[in-house]
Chain A
Amino acid sequence: MLTTQWLYALSGCLLLALGLRSALLHPALLQRILAINVMGSGVFMLLIAIAYRGPGMPPDPIPHALVLTGIVVAVSATALALALARRLTREQPHD
């Protein structure tokens, strides 16, 4: 793998670990949802790094398509999670 690929792939792994840690440990729901999104971004970075072939060379389009699909799936899941959370707060008024 190229140096650039390594750099981004490792950063992707780091984002994944960061996201996972917060998803498990953060007390607030919103940040846990953000954490899962960060995890997703980490995996996407890993995929796009794998697809990169170097400056001026056409990259592998399949991981790009996978990441695009993943982004849409992630926003769907986030939207549903936020709607569920909003429904919960409607039951209990908060200050």
Chain B
Amino acid sequence: MTDALIALVALPLTAALLALLLPRIATALVIFSGLAITASAIALLYGVNTAGALHYELGGWTAGLGIALRADGLSAILLLMIALVMFAASVYASAYFGKASERAQFWPLWLLLWTALNALLLSGDLFNLYVTLELLGLSAVALAALSGKHAAVQAALRYLLVGLLGSMLFLVGVALLYAGYATLDLATLTQVVKPGPIAWSALTLMTFGLLLKTALFPLHFWLPPAHGSAPAPVSAVLSALVVKAAFYLVLRLWLDVFADIVTPTAANLLGVLGAGAVLWGSWQALRAERLKLLAAYSTVAQLGYLFLFFPLLLALPPGPARDVATGGLVMLALTHGFAKAGLFLAIGIVQQRSGHDNIQELGGMVQRLPLTTFAIALAGVALIGLPPSGTFLGKWQLISAAIATGQWLWVAVTAIGSLLAAAYIFRILGHAFGNQPYPHQAVAVAREEWPALLLTLTATLVLGLAGAHVWTLLENGS
């Protein structure tokens, strides 16, 4: 089972090299390796479910001298989500990019991004996390700038500089921790770290750097232009996966490594920023003129919900209550990943057919692109949080935990956020389901529509109905 840990990093990286050297068979390579990576992720999940947390010491050196790969329930579930979303987006991208020269540039960077995501989630070493963060950042920026248009390149440059700032702050934290504890291994650090200036400073710096990368309000300014101008499959993955990777690190640091160091005040601060993200992001999404900007602001808002969990998790005592709430958090993250990816892919179809993604001019889309419209509607259901989507389960947990710990503010924020989400989703659907004749030619490409549809179906139905397994997996895998 530990072979899966190696496979998850080696497969996409090898595929990236082969795609670089053999561009003519690159598409087939991507699809094939995508299947292999998904299989490895399933194997890893199965392994974690049966044997608990797994770890692998690279080079055979004990963790500390060498680097260890680690996987537990949380990372295994997220790795499976990454595999499924990337695979669907890869199928989509094989049809989205019409020219062979475009695909030749796209596939190696795409696979390097996949490598970075997997390597980040599996890494058990602080400095290695920094390197994976940089790999993730550079590949994401390169992909975002791929269209070469002025708006995209400008947004990508800003994304790069903000990302570098974030990584640098993260590295300062790592240096501080090495100075204080002479170790870079996460498991060792978890045992030796003590409350004190080193731990607080390091945690603050690393969190701030990661918040820049996960675009938490008010550090979200770079996200809407970057996600709004990137090619559709790239936007899908940026919103669904890349920002989640940084969030995963915040979660890992706060709940695992620095669990004894974090204070309720600090968690409340994250909660307040999350609330700001929910309200501001939803409001901006409501005012957006373009579908992609709406989706990007919606990402800002949905990430806010994830941060609302922090004050709740810290207020609950460690035990079953906290585990149930953590499961709700994971459920929200998973559902958003699938739903947002599907939404961006569907928007990409609309954009390719009509040359633009203005919401006002969507009239009658359902007549020509029924599957795409249905995918958007399903994504909308998942973003609002209607049953049976996974978001419903997640928000239910959020509200229950808030009521149980007496933190009513978050209930109000969730309610308002969900109402705003309903408003902006119905605004799109109102236009899309209209009776006006759709002015553009719309020949649907199966390779584009089906990934979008399947992703949103997963978010809305599969995750909601199979939700209990998430909690079981998290528990078995710890």
Contact = CB atoms under 8 A, between A and B. Distances in A.
The main secondary structure of chain A at its interface with chain B is: helix
B6 interface: no
A88 to B, nearest CB: 5
Interface in A45-77: 46-47, 50, 62-63, 66, 69-70, 73, 76-77
A23, A29, A92: residue with the most chain B Cβ atoms closer than 10 Å: A23
B132 to A, nearest CB: 11
B161 A46 contact: no
B150 A77 contact: no
Contact of B157 (A40, A73, A88): A88
A63 B138 contact: no
Contacts of B184: 62
Q: How large is the interface on B (under 10, 10 to 19, 20 to 34, 35 or more residues)?
A: 20 to 34
Interface in B148-178: 148, 150, 153-154, 156-157, 160-161, 164-165, 168, 171-172, 175, 178
B324 interface: no
A28 interface: no
B134 A88 contact: no
A29 B127 CA distance: 28
B150 A50 contact: no
B178 A50 contact: yes
A22 to B, nearest CB: 12
A20 B160 CA distance: 15
A87 B145 contact: yes
Interface residues of A, number: 29
B131 interface: yes
Interface in A1-54: 16, 20, 23, 29, 32-33, 36, 39-40, 43, 46-47, 50
B160, B171, B175: residue with the most chain A Cβ atoms closer than 10 Å: B175
B141 interface: yes
A70 B161 CA distance: 16
A43 B160 contact: no
B251 interface: no
A91 to B, nearest CB: 5
A70 B127 CA distance: 10
A76 B138 CA distance: 9
Nearest to A88: B153
B465 interface: no
B157 A81 contact: yes
A36 B157 contact: no
B127 A66 contact: yes
Given A36-B161, A50-B179, A88 B150 contact: yes
B156, B157, B160: residue with the most chain A Cβ atoms closer than 10 Å: B157
A84 B165 contact: no
Contacts of B161: 23, 32-33, 36, 81
A87 B141 CA distance: 14
Contacts of A77: 134, 137-138, 160, 164
B31 interface: no
B160 A81 contact: yes
A91 B150 contact: yes
B53 interface: no
Contacts of B137: 77
Contacts of A92: 150
Contacts of A88: 150, 153-154, 157
Contacts of A20: 165
Contacts of B148: 87
Contact of B175 (A23, A39, A46, A91): A46
Nearest to B141: A80
B129 to A, nearest CB: 12
B141 A43 contact: no
B142 interface: yes
A33, A36, A84: residue with the most chain B Cβ atoms closer than 10 Å: A84
A67 B440 CA distance: 55
B51 to A, nearest CB: 31
A73 B163 CA distance: 13
A80 B138 contact: yes
A16 B164 contact: no
A6 to B, nearest CB: 12
A46 B174 CA distance: 11
A62 B171 CA distance: 14
A80 B168 contact: no
A20 B165 CA distance: 8
A40 B168 CA distance: 7
A70 B439 CA distance: 53
B175 A50 contact: yes
B178 A63 contact: yes
A46 B154 contact: no
Given A32-B161, A47-B175, A84-B160, 10 more contacts: A40-B168, A43-B168, A50-B178, A62-B184, A63-B178, A76-B134, A77-B134, A80-B138, A84-B157, A88-B150
Q: Which 8 A-B pairs have the closest CB atoms?
A: A84-B157, A91-B150, A50-B179, A39-B168, A73-B134, A47-B175, A46-B175, A87-B153
24 contacts: A32-B161, A36-B164, A39-B168, A43-B168, A43-B175, A47-B175, A50-B175, A50-B178, A50-B179, A62-B178, A62-B184, A63-B175, A63-B178, A69-B131, A73-B131, A73-B134, A77-B134, A77-B137, A80-B138, A81-B157, A84-B157, A87-B145, A88-B150, A91-B150
